[in-house]
Amino acid sequence: MGVHNVIEPSQLNRVHMDRDSSIYEIYHNHLKHKSKHQAAESTMIYCLTHRSMIIEDQLASLEFLYMNDYFTELEQLLHTSHYSKEVLMMYRVLYNRKKTPLKEKDLKWLIPLKFNHPSLKCLHLFLIVYAYFDTKQYTGLDKYVDDIYSALVQINEPLFHYYMKLRFEELLFQHYWKTNNVLLAKKHAYRYINSGLTPRKLSRMYHNLALCDTFQDYDSAIYNAQSALGIAVNYNLDHSRTALTNHTIPFISAIHKKTKGILTPDPIETAHLAIANHKNKKAVDILSKVHNPTPFQETYLGAATEDPLKLNKAKNRFINDYGDLFFAQLPEHYLKELITIV
């Protein structure tokens, strides 16, 4: 199957589509004759130089730039006067969210907004769920799943529909991961990975898959972490590389007590590695200096001091404050170790 086929809607979805944006037509044609990178570059230039008052074209342009990591170019279009105010408002929220996660006040502002255009209705639902996730309310997707399914069916343009489906796969992955339905989470992760992603998004999903396997399978977790790291190194993704080498790989290694040759400049994961190496005093010295510890840090301190009360408190914080059933397994892991020691 050619690369261009990936962005084509199914026959069922095509029934509801009454307009192909010029961006879809340009990108689809480029994918037939060029490499994916060349096709994306050519389409990006078209997005910047093409002026259209048609909302489907505007949405396809901004969504294409966003999903292909052309954020500098996206910012340019966010100052374009001929774009719909509603379209610009939604993408300013998305763009600003990259720098500053949405807060509770943003969620309260987003929920009552109303849109007539079916594509904007769909994007609006995603923004609401992103706000729930940013405020660590990981069960926030529950009440919007049916609405999103319905909204996806109503989208009338194929390129925007393709990217909204990708966004939904990512949301479903996050939802099932944080609610500790790992098998379902992985299903959506692999669909996302196989959908023609940018290197940054591909690295991030392999990174998340590594964390998914943390408590069950060391080899799989490290394999996915190394896959994510390889992409990050090859494409100079400094933030991803730092997160993997300084945090995630030491974290997985400490959980499985496979710490030989593992070092990190991060003091918290240094403490975690110390616990794995039975150097609890060193871990306590580091962690006791932390004010207002996160549930992760409280878990490490509970493990270092062999304090089941701290571990249970951390578990309750993961569950009650974050709705994060997956990482609630972390204090459980160390509680089980305490029982074994006793």
Q: Tell me the per-residue pLDDT of 139-184, one tens digit each, with 9 for 90 and over.
A: 889 999 999 999 999 999 999 999 999 999 999 999 999 999 999 9
Average pLDDT over residues 82-101: 95
The string of pLDDT tens digits covering residues 220-240 is 999 999 999 999 999 999 999
For residue 268, the model assigns a pLDDT of 97
- 56 contacts 19 by C-beta, under 8 angstroms: yes
Least trusted range by pLDDT, from 12-16, 94-98, 106-110, 337-341 = 12-16
Express as a percent the part of the chain with pLDDT over 90. 85
CA angle 234, 236, 238 (to 5 degrees): 130
Task: Return all residues near 255 (Cβ < 8 A) that are at least 6 apart.
Answer: 214, 215, 218, 276, 330, 333
For residue 1, the model assigns a pLDDT of 46
For residue 196, the model assigns a pLDDT of 75
Q: Where are the alpha helices (DSSP H) in the chain?
A: 11-14, 22-33, 36-49, 55-67, 71-77, 85-99, 104-110, 118-134, 145-154, 158-178, 182-193, 199-212, 218-234, 238-243, 249-255, 267-276, 280-287, 295-304, 308-316, 329-341
For residue 282, the model assigns a pLDDT of 97
The string of pLDDT tens digits covering residues 250-269 is 999 999 999 999 999 999 99
pLDDT at 38 over 70: yes
For residue 199, the model assigns a pLDDT of 93
Helix pair angle (158-178, 55-67), 10° resolution: 50
Query: When comparing pLDDT for 138 and 53, which is higher?
Result: 53
Average pLDDT over residues 301-327: 94
The average confidence (pLDDT) of the chain is 93
89, 99, 231, 236 from 120: Cα distances, Å: 11, 22, 33, 34
pLDDT at 95 over 90: yes
pLDDT at 340 over 70: no
Average pLDDT over residues 237-245: 96
